[in-house]
Structure 1
Amino acid sequence: MEEMLQAIQNGDLAQIDTVLETFLMHESPAEQYEVAEILMQYGYLNEANRVFEHLSFIFPEEAQIIIDRATVLMEMGDEDDALELLLSVTEDAPEYPQALLVLADYYQMQGLFEVAEKRINDAIELLPTETLLQFAKAELLFETGRFSEAARIYDELYNIDKQFAGVSIAQRLAEVYRAGAGYEAALQYYMEALEEEVSPDLLFGSAYSAFQIQKYETAVGQLEDLKELDPDYFSAYLLLAECYAMLEDNKRAYNTIKEGLKRDEYDKALFLFSGKMALKNSLPHEAIHYLQQAIALDPEYMEATLILMSIYTEQERYEDVIDLFEHLQRDDFDWTALYPFVAEAYDKEEQFEKAYEIYNSAYNDFKEDVSFLEKYCYFLLEDGKQAEAHEVVKRLVDLQPTEQEWQNLLERFI
């Protein structure tokens, strides 16, 4: 026994194989079972299976050994044999609920969630007060997005004990409330979980929840701690920059997002927010650079494209607007939100036919947009399209009946 334990602790696989045959012949079944569990803990699954197979030969009706061997086979990827063993456990065996739970794990891994839940419910019907079965059901409900049901069970378990199967219930409650948009409760449980253990994921989860309920200072504190604990936790930089932006500290927000880009230069969201913060800090040329980088990562990144076109338009870089639009067209990407910028650009570049085509295509989507209608109206008047201009002016009068400019325009058609 001592020789076997020493070989396991030393990680000496050759010695384990050498000793195992003699061990199985001479040691008691209780000691064999103990060693099998230790082999499982150390990851020697083939060896553990060998022990359980031996014990199954000695005790063919022992349900616990059948279940333990099935568990090992499942971890080894031999799921068919594991399933066959589990299904052999009879309903009158005291271990039958445990077999149902392992079956539920199997079906859950296969994505057969309804079948898994049925197995857990069967086990709960046999042992209605067994909290570990309730915990297993809560885990399944959480994984399948049934957050309110999962939260109800976690809450009940929380009042019994703070941990089950080595899992913090406060942490689970934090995660389930956050997933279900119950950010106030989530933050409370995240803070409790952090008292037990500090981890990057818990810090980020607490910061995200705090951000959602506008507790930006709290979120900043959590994220700064997270950066110190794990500087490569990339998601922290964008959220921290957003927090600073909400606190109207645009300079710090900009510096933070640039720091994030140094660590992750393939996240288009970081480039987009860098562009936004550059604009907030009156740095349009830098904004253009970051937005171009975002679009290079995703040529159909709509928000980045829209902001970039608006900057080009403000700077009267109409050729750049047209180049960007025509590049998108070559890729069969069409988005009417860009049309007002594109129509104006074609107009300014004296490509009137194209300007008219884009204006006309955009009209239905922008018939509530006074700024668009005004430009469209004057374009039509300059292009001699009086009847169409008349319709646009009437629309402007409907939207702003007290605006004298539209009344004056309308009188021109009387």
Structure 2
Amino acid sequence: MKMEVWAMSYSEQMLQALNDSDLSSANELFTQALRHDDEDTLYSLGEELYALGFLEQAQQIYLKLLKAYPNEDELKTVLADIAVSNDQADKALNYLQSIKPTSEAYVESLLTQADVYQTLGMPEVSEAKLNQAQQLAPDEPAIWFGLGELYLSLGRYAEAVPQYQKLLAQGEDQFAGVLIQQRLGASLAGMGAYEEAVTAYQQLPAEALDKDTNFQIGFLYLQLKDYQKAIDSLQQLAQADPDYTSLYPYLATAQEKMGDLQGALLTVQTGIAHDEYNEVLYQRGFDLATKLDQEEIAQKYLQKLLAINPDNQTAVLALSNLYLKQHRYQAVRDLLSAHMPDQQDPQMLWNLAQAQAALEDYDGAKENYLLAYNSLKTDPEFLKDLIAFFQEMGLVQEAILALKNYVKLVPDDFERQELLNELEDEQQL
């Protein structure tokens, strides 16, 4: 009896060579497959190679098949996908725009066009393509997913939510490798529906609770003012991944809200140990140390922050305030002279004026008081300081003008009302 021997195609042999990590043989067999295998076999090989990430070889197969079947629109959509992966947006659009509305592949071409236009930074065109596709195929889950992803990326959370809800209602828990419940939670959080967002995240399977999701849950509890749950969630994340440094400022905030200022400061110190260039942590450290009356630590944090970013104007102002409180007037002048922004900050000008006045640099002080005046003329504390300066300098008319402005703002300050009356009477003598 003669037995029939089954011969493997070149395509099958190539895939076997790839499985054996024999790339040299795989390349030779691929060339033979292009020359000798039938079109159905080649199409199957193209699908396998595309799935494995061998886009160049898959492209060669699809181009050969498209040459034989120029009206096969499905080949154009796959070639467009490959072009997108290769950052060849124009080539992708050429393939897609050649597909006519009467084609069965037209809706798919609109979806791919939407992806292309989004990568090109043209979300309005992307949305138009998706809406056009939805009119033609209103029950297509891929369109709901595309719209949800687009709206989420644009911050249009209220529009993203129903798209993800439709997917979940159809049993689509996962789409294109994306967990829909996770996306729903992010959209709800974005629109401020924090309780609903927590509920959405809690419905995720345990294995889907990655670091970012756990962080988001802790953040949401913080927004809901459920500080203990926020602390529990963020501390659990810190134990699992202490280098996830975004968590530390929020954990410190939750601890502060619970009245544990020392614990919050320790959290900040732990965060800095893992990320010594985190400006937010240094700022939070300053705030907490100040509330704990630990001025030396507060000063250290601000100085380190300015060493990282000398242009951090919030830190410059805070440090100048601290120096003023400590009566370190030369330090105030040195700091602000070195760090005054081009758009002069009125509070910094006021601080500099106070330091200059204390150092008897009266001309400089007067100049900076006047520069700050237009922005701070409705601030009673500024006006009180300005009045005292004018009085010390013997600038009676200027003091009267400042007093008039002040008593309009604080009419029940009878002491300064009386001072105004006295100065005006002196002027009339």
TM-score, L = length of structure 1: 0.93
> Within 5 A, what are the aligned runs for 1:45-64?
45-64=55-74
User: 2:314 matched to 1:297?
Assistant: no
How many residue pairs are counted as aligned between the two chains? 413
Q: Quick check: 2:333–2:356 contact (8 Å CA) kept in 1?
A: yes
Q: Which residue of 2 aligns with 1:118?
A: 128
Q: Quick check: 1:328–1:334 contact (8 Å CA) kept in 2?
A: no
User: 2:155 matched to 1:145?
Assistant: yes
Q: Which residue of 2 aligns with 1:398?
A: 408
Q: Which residue of 1 aligns with 2:345?
A: 335
Unaligned stretches of 5+ in structure 2?
1-10
Inter-partner Cα distance in structure 2 for 1:148 and 1:113? 17
After superposition, what is the alpha-carbon deviation per residue over 1:106-145, rounded to whole angstroms, capped at 9, x for unaligned? Answer: 1111112222222222221211111211211221122223
After superposition, what is the alpha-carbon deviation per residue over 1:71-95, rounded to whole angstroms, capped at 9, x for unaligned? Answer: 1232123333332222222222211
Unaligned stretches of 5+ in structure 1?
none
Inter-partner Cα distance in structure 1 for 2:19 and 2:257? 54
> Within 5 A, what are the aligned runs for 1:239-254?
239-254=250-265
Change (3 A) 1:178 1:412: same
Q: Which residue of 2 aligns with 1:384?
A: 394
Q: Quick check: 2:141–2:167 contact (8 Å CA) kept in 1?
A: yes
Q: 1:228 aligns with which of 230, 236, 239?
A: 239
Amino acid at match of 2:119: M
After superposition, what is the alpha-carbon deviation per residue over 1:124-178, rounded to whole angstroms, capped at 9, x for unaligned? Answer: 1211111211211221122223222222322333322233333222211121222
Inter-partner Cα distance in structure 1 for 2:202 and 2:347? 43
Amino acid at match of 1:263: H
Q: Quick check: 2:269–2:285 contact (8 Å CA) kept in 1?
A: yes
Change (3 A) 1:251 1:75: same
61-70 vs 309-318, which deviates more?
61-70
Partner secondary structure for residue 311 of structure 2: coil
Partner secondary structure for residue 214 of structure 1: coil
Change (3 A) 1:13 1:53: farther
Q: Which residue of 1 aligns with 2:381?
A: 371
Q: Which residue of 1 aligns with 2:174?
A: 163
Inter-partner Cα distance in structure 1 for 2:262 and 2:17? 59
Q: Which residue of 2 aligns with 1:16?
A: 26
43-52 vs 30-39, which deviates more?
30-39
Q: Which residue of 1 aligns with 2:329?
A: 318
Change (3 A) 1:101 1:11: farther
Change (3 A) 1:59 1:292: same
Q: Which residue of 2 aligns with 1:201?
A: 212
Q: Which residue of 2 aligns with 1:175?
A: 186
Inter-partner Cα distance in structure 2 for 1:359 and 1:19? 83
Inter-partner Cα distance in structure 1 for 2:406 and 2:84? 70
Q: Which residue of 2 aligns with 1:351?
A: 361
Q: Quick check: 1:100–1:119 contact (8 Å CA) kept in 2?
A: yes
Inter-partner Cα distance in structure 1 for 2:178 and 2:279? 35
210-219 vs 76-85, which deviates more?
76-85
Q: Which residue of 1 aligns with 2:273?
A: 262
Partner secondary structure for residue 354 of structure 2: helix
331-340 vs 116-125, which deviates more?
331-340
Q: Quick check: 1:241–1:252 contact (8 Å CA) kept in 2?
A: yes
Change (3 A) 1:389 1:202: same
Partner secondary structure for residue 312 of structure 1: helix
Change (3 A) 1:12 1:205: farther
Q: Which residue of 1 aligns with 2:141?
A: 131
Inter-partner Cα distance in structure 1 for 2:266 and 2:205? 28
28-37 vs 372-381, which deviates more?
28-37
User: 2:427 matched to 1:412?
Assistant: no
Inter-partner Cα distance in structure 1 for 2:336 and 2:44? 70
Amino acid at match of 1:383: M
After superposition, what is the alpha-carbon deviation per residue over 1:363-397, rounded to whole angstroms, capped at 9, x for unaligned? Answer: 23223322222221121112111122122223333
Amino acid at match of 2:103: A
Q: Quick check: 1:193–1:202 contact (8 Å CA) kept in 2?
A: no
Q: Percent identity?
A: 32
Inter-partner Cα distance in structure 2 for 1:7 and 1:218? 54
Q: 2:54 aligns with which of 34, 44, 57?
A: 44
Partner secondary structure for residue 248 of structure 1: coil
Q: Quick check: 2:346–2:376 contact (8 Å CA) kept in 1?
A: no
Inter-partner Cα distance in structure 2 for 1:400 and 1:194? 60
Inter-partner Cα distance in structure 2 for 1:365 and 1:3? 79
Shift of the alpha carbon at 1:2? 4.5
Change (3 A) 1:327 1:194: farther
Q: Which residue of 1 aligns with 2:4?
A: none
Inter-partner Cα distance in structure 2 for 1:96 and 1:369? 65
Q: 2:109 aligns with which of 82, 93, 99?
A: 99
Q: Quick check: 2:181–2:200 contact (8 Å CA) kept in 1?
A: yes
Partner secondary structure for residue 382 of structure 2: helix
Shift of the alpha carbon at 1:207? 1.7
After superposition, what is the alpha-carbon deviation per residue over 1:292-319, rounded to whole angstroms, capped at 9, x for unaligned? Answer: 1212222231221121111101110011
